[in-house]
Every structure is written in structure tokens, then in C-alpha cells.
Structure 1
């Protein structure tokens, strides 16, 4: 039985939006050890940690659009990755004007 081709636009049911102190960012570099460098929309470049539940499910590469939550201690330097946006979701966010200061390279 052949696989069905899915249109990415049909896949979008709901896009996770930033709440409270969360921000959207683009992965600029992989640092190793479950850490990566993310350029956030608020102008800061943060070192982000990939939690275990996300690390086991998803592959994150430079250029991907992610949702990050800054730590309460070092807000301008460190954060945790909460969500990885798909290509269709990131193009929707850009089209609707939620991404202004950064450009994802998907």
C-alpha cells in the first residue's frame, strides 16, 4: 500500500504561539552536548539547552525556527528549547508578521 502524500498546508491545525516570557528564535549553531546557539527575536543570542523529551523526538539543525523560554536566572544568556516549528508553520508565522527581526533559512 503506497504512502499518501500530505500537503504541508493541511497539516497546520494550530501554531504554538509565544506566551509570557517565551520568544521565537533561529538556530545559528550546534554547540554539542545538547546545546545550541539561538538568535532570538528580542535581539539576544542565547545558548539553549535541548531538554531530554525533545532531544529524543526531534532533530534540530541550524536554520530551524524554535520557541525558547529564557531561564529565570540568566534571561539574556540562557534558555530552554520548548518547540520546533515545521516549515509550514514557520512560513505561516513569517507571512502573518510574527517574525520580524530574524529570518529562518528552511
Structure 2
């Protein structure tokens, strides 16, 4: 699932707006933790936690598994793979 990083909380946690329209708290996967720097506005792949029980007032959680580079994003945009809801100007903060 695609997502866009909206906030950085610290301690490898970030606010992510996912393509299903939900805000989630994303945790950077251990394999890419020190190799890839994730910044606000980056397009990422997330995998939502299925084993977590949903609490009404709190956002769900997910794991950030990949960050796209600018060249990869331009290829995805040319081939219309990125959903329109993840356009950086359309994301509700």
C-alpha cells in the first residue's frame, strides 16, 4: 500500500497518510532504519499491522518498508501507478 509521510514524531516513528484515506503511525523497518533517510513528503510503501486491536480515538499503526527515490516517483507518475489521493497538495493534515 502506498503512503505519504506527513509528520515526523521521532524515535523512528512518523505520521503516514495511506492510499485508503487513513492516517497511521508508521514505524521504520529495521532493515532500512540506518540505510534510508525518510523525510516529510516522501512516498513510501507501508504494510498495516493486522494483529493490532483498533482503538476508537487513536490512529492505526503500520510499518514503512520502502521509500521511493525521485526517479522512481517520476516513473510511477508517468505510468499512473500513484493514486490521486496521495498527491502532495491533496493530503488533509
TM-score range, shorter chain: 0.7 to 0.9
Deviation at 1:104, TM superposition (A): 4.3
CA deviation map 1:66-97 (0-9, x unaligned) = 00000112487111011110001112112212
Tell me which stretches of 4 or more aligned residues in structure 1 moved more than 6 Å.
none
SS across alignment from 2:73: helix
Q: Give the TM-score, by structure 1 length.
A: 0.71
Counterpart mapping for 1:1-106 below 5 A:
23-74=1-52, 77-99=60-82, 100-104=84-88
> Which one has the largest radius of gyration?
1
Unpaired segments ≥5 residues, structure 2 = none
How far is 1:52 from its partner?
2.0
TM-score by length of 2: 0.80
In the alignment, the residues of structure 2 paired with residue 50 and residue 41 of structure 1 have an alpha-carbon distance, to the nearest angstrom, of 18
Name the one with the larger helix percent: 1
Mapped partners of 2:29, 2:61: distance in 1: 13
Report the secondary structure of 2:24's partner residue.
Answer: strand
Q: Is the 8 A contact 1:64 1:85 kept in 2?
A: yes
More strand by share: 2
Partner SS state of residue 55, structure 1: coil
Aligned Cα root-mean-square deviation (Å)? 1.8
Q: CA deviation at 1:51?
A: 1.8
| Alpha carbons of structure 1 residues 55 and 89: separation in structure 2 relative to 1, 3 Å | same
Report how many aligned residue pairs link the two structures: 83
